[in-house]
Structure 1
Amino acid sequence: MSESSLQSKTFPMTRRAFSTSLAAAATLGASGKASATMTRRSVPGRFAYIGSGEAEAGAIHVVDLSKDGSRVVQTMASASPAHLELHPSGSMLYAVHAVNEWESLPRGAVSAYAIDAETGHLTLQRVQPLALSAINPSHALVTPDGSHLIVAVAGGGSYNVLPLESNGLPLPVSGLFKEVGFSTEAGVGKTSTPSSLVLHSDGRTLVAADTGNESLSTFRLETDTLTPLHRRRVHKGAGPSQMVGHTNARFVYALNSEDGSISVHRIDTSRGQTQASHQRVATNGASTIAMHPSGRFLLTANGARMTAWKIDRSNGRIQPAESLPVEATQIAFDRSGRTIIAAHAPTGRMVRGEFSIANGSISGLTEVGNFSSAHSFAIL
């Protein structure tokens, strides 16, 4: 593929090819030859990593966002990359594979890719299967100290903890917490569907959104496992599907897919729980949510328009600041908060813009490329 091309390509991978790449990754990890430096050298906002496609037709695309233009510099096969997560060092990328089976067993998997700081290119280092019955994982995060990768498993209703080596490579699952459903006041049973994770700045308190249970749960990461602390139902008919935390670590914002609202919750780390929402705001059908690194703005998008919400950092409450004509179903910021990437899954179109911290506006929109079924990305 030409580096100047803006069109994505996927390279179908057969089951045999996947098995071969898995074995190769395991060999590299075991031999130690695949170790990656943990020194951050890349320029903030230079590379975007885009996960697209399903099953064996899935792929991860690497886009160079240098000032001289956006260009696809690498595309590699990756089975259903439902979520992409960066190591805090910026030297490793993790792909969560939302599959029903891995190595002929009912489980998903996580792949670790070393990032070349100069070119942004990815090199597969290791593939680590999840626990049995941990199918269709949906989200993941790395602790700030880079010691653990925590995975939310939608299909299996559980959370998997994978320790990370000093070079960022994932070890086998060390901790598993199986969530249970609960009955509503009408006696209707709920099924746990973990969908999104937020880690408190203390590096040990985890908040999880559970769409099926309509709840937010808090856990404590202790050694290599999770200890449940508290579970709070958001509200009837909420279905929290995505969640972001405020940079001051005092609030979390749940995007509720069932009624299209945002609920604002205060985190009480002394008691290990989230409090009942003190604000609920309608979003006109938002399907994605993102927090600006400054903590001054929250962004939502409903496919046709994007809304920037100004945050009162004293109480966490939000109010609309800007309505932007940007088609998006996914949003991400770079570490500086100056660059924003927006993807529109129905058309595959992805654009890049400059975000203003003064008023929440977006300018200088340029097309990054067209990626069929783009559903996850990260900006380094």
Structure 2
Amino acid sequence: MAQTSKEILYIGTYSQNDSKGIYVLEFDRSSLSATVLQTVHDKKNPTFLALHPSGKFLYAAYREGQHAEDPNGTIAAYAIEAGTGRLSLVNWVSSAGASPCHISLDPSGNVVFVSHYQGGNLATFKVLDSGGVSEAVSFVQHKGSSIHPNQTKPHMHAMIPSLDGKWVYASDLGIDQLVKYNVNIRKGSVGDNPKVFHVKAGSGPRHFVIHPVLPYAYSVEELSNTVGIYAVDPKDGDLTFLSRVEMLSPALHSDYNAAADIHLSVDGTWLYASNRGQDNLAIYRVDQNTGLLELQGHIPTGGQHPRNFKVDEKGDLLLVANMESDNVVIFTIPEDTGIPEPTGKSISIPRAVFIEQLFID
């Protein structure tokens, strides 16, 4: 794991426990340590971040609005300084909904997708020539409810674009739906005729990941602590449910459990999903013929409430943001087993929620 270029980590946080907002860290791969280069706290609770495909801009979803009475959040665009990774504000706009909890970009870097948990809606934004963001181009309000006590109304949680950018998949925890929207790259909008895929009642789809090579996708389900497995039609992007696997370890007991994040290994051989309560990662091997999952075991995340985690783009490391214990814990990923191993190294970050990674040559 020799250092081949400068590595920058951007950490999103809740503005609690003296957190200073977005943390910009220079990461040393050889010592598995990090130095704080900058903190940015333009608004409260920059919990989720998204890196532009060019590596020149970073987008942040702040839960605080434009003014004190504003019920919506704020989307901020930052220019990344070449050579250092430091951030400078380009512009910000209203997120157009309450409590933005996820932000992502299409593969071309022309469209920003934002999910609002409390508002139960989604919005899209056009990326401007400056790298800034337009006002909201699309706004879609979801409707409905489901059977769980936490499902009295829609709770949008993530928008994940297809690998070719033609579609984006919206996970709505509150109404147990995965919704496929057509994406208009030029306009920065989503279409008016979405395709709805109903999920098992009470499961609560939260985050979604698409296999980099195989025609399969995986949905982590927060309320049932399960992973849903789907075949993806390469022609129209439609989803076909295949199976569902458990996330919890039968050897552990916790009164509270809530599945959180999901990612594949770089080569698509392994799938990881985090659980808050048991505070572990469930490790699965991906069948390269069927897309189905075989549980390999569980590993403790080295902290409490693993809200999100990052699989290193080089495939060597896995970093877990443990929100309640204020740390980012570093694991190595052995090539032969794919089961992350603790390094004993961690980075202290108050209320750490999300990790983004940038390599600077």
The two structures share one fold, judged by TM-score above 0.5:
yes
Which residue in 2 is equivalent to 1:157? Answer: 120
Give the SS at the match of 2:134: coil
Which residue in 2 is equivalent to 1:141? Answer: 104
Q: State the number of aligned residues.
A: 334
Which residue in 1 is equivalent to 2:289? Answer: 314
Which residue in 2 is equivalent to 1:293? Answer: 266
Shift of 1:168: 2.2
Which residue in 2 is equivalent to 1:353? Answer: 331
Give the SS at the match of 1:217: strand
Shift of 1:148: 0.9
Shift of 1:325: 3.6
What is the one-letter code of the residue matched to 2:159? Answer: L
Q: Which residues of 2 match residues 230-379 of structure 1 at below 5 A?
A: 230-248=195-213, 250-276=215-241, 278-284=242-248, 285=257, 286-303=259-276, 304-327=279-302, 329=306, 330-363=308-341, 365-379=343-357
Shift of 1:322: 4.5
Which residue in 1 is equivalent to 2:177? Answer: 215
What is the one-letter code of the residue matched to 2:320? Answer: A
Residue 125 in structure 1 maps to residue 90 in structure 2: yes
- Cα distance change, pair 93–136 in 1 and its aligned pair in 2 (3 A): same
What is the one-letter code of the residue matched to 1:324? Answer: I
The answer to whether the 8 A contact 2:90-2:131 is kept is: no
Unpaired runs of at least 5, structure 2: 249-256
Structure showing the higher strand proportion among its residues: 2
Q: Distance in 2 between matches of 1:75 and 1:93?
A: 14
Q: Distance in 1 between matches of 2:39 and 2:146?
A: 45
Residue 179 in structure 1 maps to residue 131 in structure 2: no
Q: Distance in 1 between matches of 2:243 and 2:347?
A: 37
The answer to whether the 8 A contact 1:97-1:137 is kept is: yes
Q: Distance in 2 between matches of 1:272 and 1:323?
A: 32
Unpaired runs of at least 5, structure 1: 1-41
The alignment yields a C-alpha RMSD, in angstroms, of 2.6
Q: Distance in 2 between matches of 1:85 and 1:236?
A: 30
Counterpart among 48, 52, 56 of residue 13 in structure 2: 52
Q: Distance in 2 between matches of 1:59 and 1:93?
A: 14
Q: Distance in 2 between matches of 1:294 and 1:45?
A: 23
Shift of 1:143: 1.0
The answer to whether the 8 A contact 1:200-1:249 is kept is: no
Counterpart among 155, 173, 189 of residue 193 in structure 1: 155
What is the one-letter code of the residue matched to 1:62? Answer: V
Give the SS at the match of 1:237: coil
Q: Distance in 2 between matches of 1:85 and 1:183?
A: 30
Shift of 1:323: 3.2
The answer to whether the 8 A contact 2:45-2:63 is kept is: yes
